[in-house]
Chain A
Amino acid sequence: MVTNVTSLGRSGLSDWLIARVSAYVMTAYLIFIVGYLMLTPDLNYTQWAALNSSLPMRMFSLLTILSIAAHAWIGMWCVLTDYITVRLIGPKATALRIIFQLGMIAITLLYVIWAIDILWGI
C-alpha cells in the first residue's frame, strides 16, 4: 500500500472512477454544445445568453467545469509523480514536486471559482 496525500481521491480506485465519469460528462457537454451550434445556425447574443443563464445549463456547465478540474487534477498529479521524482532528478525533487502539486491544485481551484463567478454573472 503506497499512501498519498496530494492525489484527488486518496485512493487509486476513487481517482480511476472519477477520471472515467468526468470524461463522460465532458464528452456529453462537448456533444451538446457542438450539436446546439450546428442546429442553431443563426445564433444571436440573446439566444446564447438565454441558454447560458438558464439554471439547467448553468448546472450542466458547472458539472463540466468540476469534471475538467477533477480530470486535470488526477492527470497532472500522475504526470508530476512520474517525472518529478528523486529517482529522476535527485533529492530536490520532493520539495519541487510538492510546490508543483500545491500550485496545480491552487490554480485548479481558482479556475473553478472564476468559472462559477462567470456562470452566475451572465
Chain B
Amino acid sequence: MLNVSIYRYNPEVDSEPYMQDFEFDTQGKDIMVLDVLEKLKIEDPTLVFRRSCREGVCGSDGMNISGKNGLACVTPLSDAVKKNKLVIRPLPGLPVIRDLVIDMSQFYAQYEKIQPYMINNTPAPAIERLQSQEERAKLDGLYECILCACCSTACPSFWWNPDKFIGPSGLLQAYRFLADSRDTATEARLANLDDPFSVFRCHGIMNCVQVCPKGLNPTKAIGHIRDMLIRTAT
C-alpha cells in the first residue's frame, strides 16, 4: 500500500492547514499522480484540487509533488514516490484557497504586465502578417508555455517579491513577444523591464528550468531579454 500525504486546508472549518494521510493500493501499476487524487476524491469528496484536460495541456493541476512542482496528470508515481511515500502540497508561494487550490491572481497580474499580445499598429495586410521560417523558429520553446505556474512558484525571487518580479513564466512570455518579428513595440516593452525588480531579480538559479513540465527554459529567455537590454542601453 502506498502512503499518500496530502495538504488539507478548508478556511471555513480548519484553523490551520494540516497533512492528511491516505493508504492507496496502486495494484502494482505506474499510474499518474492525478489518477491517485481522483480515486482518493471518490473516497473523500471534500478533497479539492484543480484539473481539466488530464494530459499536460491545460496547466490546471500544477502542484508540489514530493517536493517538486509539476503537473499531477503527467507525473507518474515512479517519478514521484520516495520510500513508498507520496507527498502532495499546493504550489508554494501563493495564497491557498482550499486544499491544493491556490489563488493565482498575483501570477496572472505579472503576466498581464508584460502585455502578452501582439502590438502592431501598422495597417494590416490583405491576408495576414507573414513570417519567414527562420523568424517563426525563434518562437519555438516560448509559445508552448501553458501558464501552469510551476516555474514561477518554484522561484525564490518570485516568492519574496511576487508583486514586483515578473517571474520566469511571465518573462518567458515577454521574450516570446520581444522575439516576434511581427511585433513593433520592442522598445516600449524593453523600457518597461529595465528596473531592479522586473527582470533583474532573476539570479539564474534555474529552478524554473528544473520543474517546467513542458521542458522549456525560462532562464535562457531571461538571458535573451538581458542581451536585448544591453544592446539598446549601452
Contact = CB atoms under 8 A, between A and B. Distances in A.
Interface stretch (A31-39, A82-90, A106-114): A82-90
Given A13-B226, A13-B229, A13-B230, A2 B160 contact: no
A16 interface: yes
A1 B192 contact: yes
A93 B86 CA distance: 38
A contacts with B: majority SS: helix
Interface residues of A, number: 20
Interface in A57-103: 77-78, 81-83, 85, 87-88
Nearest to A81: B161
Interface residues of B, number: 23
Given A13-B229, A82-B160, A1 B200 contact: no
A2 B198 contact: yes
A15 B230 CA distance: 12
A15 B200 contact: yes
A11 B200 CA distance: 9
Nearest to B197: A2
Interface of B: 156-157, 160-164, 191-201, 226, 229-230, 233-234
Identify the 5 closest CB pairs spanning chains A and B, nearest first: A12-B200, A2-B197, A82-B160, A12-B196, A7-B196
13 contacts: A1-B192, A1-B194, A1-B198, A3-B195, A12-B199, A12-B200, A15-B196, A16-B200, A17-B230, A77-B196, A78-B201, A81-B197, A82-B161
